Amino acid sequence: MNDVVKIKRLHPCAVIPSYATDGSGCFDITALEMVQQEGNTAVYTTGLAFELPPGKVLMIYSRSGHGFNRGIRLANCVGVIDSDYRGEVAVKLTRDNDGIWLPSAGDRIAQGLIQDAPRVQFVEVEELSETVRGTGGFGSTG
C-alpha cells in the first residue's frame, strides 16, 4: 500500500511531483522559477509545500543527468524536509564548472524520496561493545 502525502500548490503553475517511469525510485521535482543567482549558484522555488506523514522525511537529491552531463548538483548535497515543515520547498543548485547552463522554470531540478525517519533514544554509556573493526577509521577495511 502506498503512503499518502498531501501537497499544497502555492502557485497555480507549480508542478505536482511525479515518477518518470514505473521503476523510478525517486520522483521529479520541478522548478517554478529561479529567484536568485550568484556566480555558480542558483535558488529555485517549487511552488509546493508538503505534509509528510509522521515518521517520514523527504530527502531531496541531485538529478543524475545534471551531475554527469552538466556538472550541477544540490548546493547542500542532500536536502532534508522534516514531517513538521509546512513551508515551500526550495532547491539551491551549484554548477561545478564554468559552463553557462543552469535550469530554467519548468525544468526538473531535483529528485525526491520519502523515507522512514525512526526516532531513537540516545543513551550515554561508559563503554561501547567490541567489534572486529574496532576504531579502524575511514579506509580501514580496504
Per-residue pLDDT, averaged over 17-32, amounts to 96
**Which string of b and e fits 7-44 if b means at least 16 CB within 10 Å?**
eeeeeeebbebeeeeeeeebbbbbbbebeeeeebebbb
Average pLDDT, the chain: 92
pLDDT at 32 over 60: yes
Query: If pLDDT is split at 50, 70 and 90, which confidence band does 3 have?
Result: confident
Average pLDDT of the residues in 27-43: 93
More confident residue, 96 or 25: 25
The mean-pLDDT minimum among 3-7, 50-54, 94-98 falls in 94-98
pLDDT in tens, 38-90: 888 999 999 999 999 999 999 999 998 888 888 899 999 999 999 999 999 99
Q: What confidence category does residue 136 fall into, taking pLDDT thresholds of 50, 70 and 90?
A: confident
pLDDT at 1 over 70: no
- Pick the more confident residue, 124 or 139: 124
User: What is the structure's pLDDT at 101?
Assistant: 78
CA distance 90 to 17: 14
* pLDDT at residue 128 tops 80: yes
